[in-house]
Amino acid sequence: MIGFVFRRLIASIPTLLAVLTLVFIIVRVVPGDPALVILGDQATPEAAAALRARLGLDVPILTQYVRFLGNALTGDIGTSMVSGRPVFEEVGAVLPHTIDLTIASMILGIVVGVPVGIWAALHRNGVIDVAARLLSLIGLSFPVFVSGIFLLIGFALQLRWFPVIGQADLGDYGDRIHKLILPAITLGLVMAAYITRVTRSAMLASLSEDYIRTARAKGVPWRRVVWVHGLRNASLPVVTVVGLYVGILIGNSVLTEIVFNRPGLGKVIVGALNQRDYTMLQGLMVIYCFLIVVVNLITDLLYGVLDPRVKAA
């Protein structure tokens, strides 16, 4: 197992390097001068040139790239061009909020999506199945900024159960959970819709397999057939979707963060992009990429647990 994890981490290094290079190029290809964004519209070319020199943007792009890679390899992913503070520090202040939201949405998505998907598969083309498919379609097509505002109007403005401003005190776990509920429902329901559809399809495929028929012929109780034989084999695509979706959740939580006024990685990325904060964007991508590698690794390990053939391969 340790060897497997080690090999996967080593294999992720080229991916990280490729991502770093791509990000370095992309942020510089996008039009918009960071010096102008920082100095405002009254800045003279002289002031802009002075700032570019201070930010290290006046040297050839190759030199900038070598410097960036050299620093990244020593664990230094830079200092924000706008705030002047280390990227790690800036990200560190918001990352716990993103992780809270991602994990809570994922749990909600699994807890709702898997049973509903199984239930729909067991009642194929019945009322329950149609209702589940319809609800999952609504869940997928409803933008989070609309569902989020509806939740705020209902639960914050009318019932006053939750605040509109979702900035929680990290040291106060009660406050953290309280302010997490509405955003987690908003994102979690989208995830649940995805998982419902995937679980339903996988279960339908699994339940039509020969081994299920054999198990039933041998007199294995139906509940056991479904939960042990059916679900275990159907869970591989579900785990794949959850693994993929966690990555998307981290990046796509920006709308939820904006609507619920929560700090988070998505908002920081948008802010850095608007302000052309190259170093912040690069640093964020390193962290983001690292998180994706970790999530993929966990997904791969889960494959091994669910299907021993994967481990053997």
* Residue ranges in 30-69 that form contacts with other proteins under rule CB under 8 A: 30-33, 36-47, 49-51, 54
Q: Residue 224 CB, nearest distance to other proteins (Å)?
A: 38
Q: What angle do CA 35, 30, 251 make, to 5 degrees?
A: 105
C-alpha 147/C-alpha 157 separation (Å) is 14
When the beta carbons of 38 and 203 are compared against other proteins, the nearer one is: 38
Q: Residue 176 CB, nearest distance to other proteins (Å)?
A: 9
DSSP 8-state class, residue 79: B
Confirm or reject binding of residue 134 to other proteins (CB under 8 A). Answer: no
Confirm or reject binding of residue 285 to other proteins (CB under 8 A). Answer: no
- Identified binder of other proteins from the candidate list 73, 111, 134, 228, rule CB under 8 A: 73
- Residue at token pair 């785990």: 239
C-alpha 262/C-alpha 267 separation (Å) is 9
- Identified binder of other proteins from the candidate list 198, 276, 284, 288, rule CB under 8 A: 276
Specify the 3-state DSSP secondary structure of 43: coil
The tokens for 100 are: 């809270």
When the beta carbons of 38 and 215 are compared against other proteins, the nearer one is: 38
Site string for other proteins, 83-102 (x = CB under 8 A): xxx--x-xxxxxxx--x---
C-alpha 208/C-alpha 53 separation (Å) is 66
Please say whether the beta carbons of 289 and 19 come within 8 A.
yes
C-alpha 35/C-alpha 134 separation (Å) is 50
When the beta carbons of 229 and 276 are compared against other proteins, the nearer one is: 276
Please say whether the beta carbons of 104 and 180 come within 8 A.
yes
Q: Residue 78 CB, nearest distance to other proteins (Å)?
A: 12
Site string for other proteins, 214-233 (x = CB under 8 A): --------------------
C-alpha 124/C-alpha 52 separation (Å) is 63
Contact set with other proteins (CB under 8 A): 9, 30-33, 36-47, 49-51, 54, 72-75, 79, 82-85, 88, 90-96, 99, 145, 149, 152-153, 156-157, 160, 163-165, 167, 169-171, 258-264, 267-268, 270-271, 274-276, 287, 290
